[in-house]
Copies of this chain bind each other. A is one copy, B any other.
Amino acid sequence: MTNPTAAMLVIGDEILSGRTRDSNMHYLAGELTRIGIRLAEVRVVPDDSAAIVAGVNALRTAYDTVFTSGGIGPTHDDITADSIAAAFGVPISHRADAMALLAAHYDRQGLPFNEARQRMARIPEGARLIDNPVSIAPGFSLGNVHVMAGVPTIFQAMVASVLPGLTGGPPLLSQTLRVMRGEGEIAADFGALAAAFPELQMGSYPFSLNGAYGTNLVIRGTDPARLDAAMTRLCRLFA
């Protein structure tokens, strides 16, 4: 049994210009790993329709599920919904259920439901809305693409809405052994161990602490018995 794959398309000039540090990728990676979906690729593209269309079309054909973040607000630079519609070749318009949600929200707040705010009800034909408990304006799912806000609190709420509807695979387990030895010292034995367990992934991540070199040795896989067996041998080698 293999794990389903996912990709993420981060849409945002603010990430590429260095103004903002993306945090959604790290959050999504952790959530997907937890439910046994393998995040296989992430792309970050600017607020540019051609780049979004090319990115989403490349990813949605290559992977089981795609998540996008960013560009679904009320301002002129929010072009994600239109770009997704273009990528799928479907029309986009103000949708009645999204309009109703937003109209009620702004009514409760005593704020005008103006043209800019109505823009957030523009949804490509055939999409399903993604609930936004934080600020109401919905995301949407079209085919295997889930289109979500870039603001981290809203992104996280939308991920929580979408994940229960996805089929995960066996849990992606990992175990880590931290050793105070440099990578060059453990490489031969660690490589031999990795070769003995081809169904597991083994990675080494060096660090330095107070001038001394250390390495985190990480073993990943889905078979708990094999993972334990490898970890036992790893500990015998280095711990």
Binding site for B on A (CB under 8 A): 10, 13-23, 25-33, 38-47, 51, 73-77, 106, 111, 114-117, 119-120, 151, 172, 174, 182-188, 190-191, 194-195, 201-207, 218, 220
A21 to B172, CA, bound (A): 18
A76-B184 contact, Cβ under 8 Å, with A29-B15, A39-B16, A218-B19: no
A14 and B203 within 8 A (CB): yes
A69 to B153, CA, bound (A): 29
Complex contacts, A203 vs chain B, CB 8 Å: 13-14, 47, 75, 77
From B18, B26, B28, B119, A22 is in contact (CB under 8 Å) with B26
For this chain, the copies found in one complex come to 2
In the complex, what's the smallest C-beta–C-beta distance from A115 to chain B, in angstroms?
7
From B18, B75, B183, B186, A183 is in contact (CB under 8 Å) with B75
Complex contacts, A114 vs chain B, CB 8 Å: 184, 187-188
17 A-B pairs within 8 Å (CB atoms) are namely: A10-B42, A14-B203, A14-B218, A16-B42, A17-B174, A18-B29, A18-B32, A21-B26, A41-B44, A43-B44, A47-B201, A73-B206, A74-B183, A77-B194, A77-B202, A111-B185, A151-B206
Complex contacts, A190 vs chain B, CB 8 Å: 75-76
A116 and B183 within 8 A (CB): yes
From B17, B21, B194, A220 is in contact (CB under 8 Å) with B17
B76 and A111 within 8 A (CB): no
B20 and A33 within 8 A (CB): no
A38 to B76, CA, bound (A): 21
A13 to B39, CA, bound (A): 9
Chain B residue with Cβ nearest A207: B151
A203 to B74, CA, bound (A): 11
Complex contacts, A218 vs chain B, CB 8 Å: 14, 19
A202 to B19, CA, bound (A): 13
In the complex, what's the smallest C-beta–C-beta distance from A49 to chain B, in angstroms?
14
A74-B26 contact, Cβ under 8 Å, with A17-B33, A42-B44, A51-B41: no
In the complex, what's the smallest C-beta–C-beta distance from A36 to chain B, in angstroms?
12
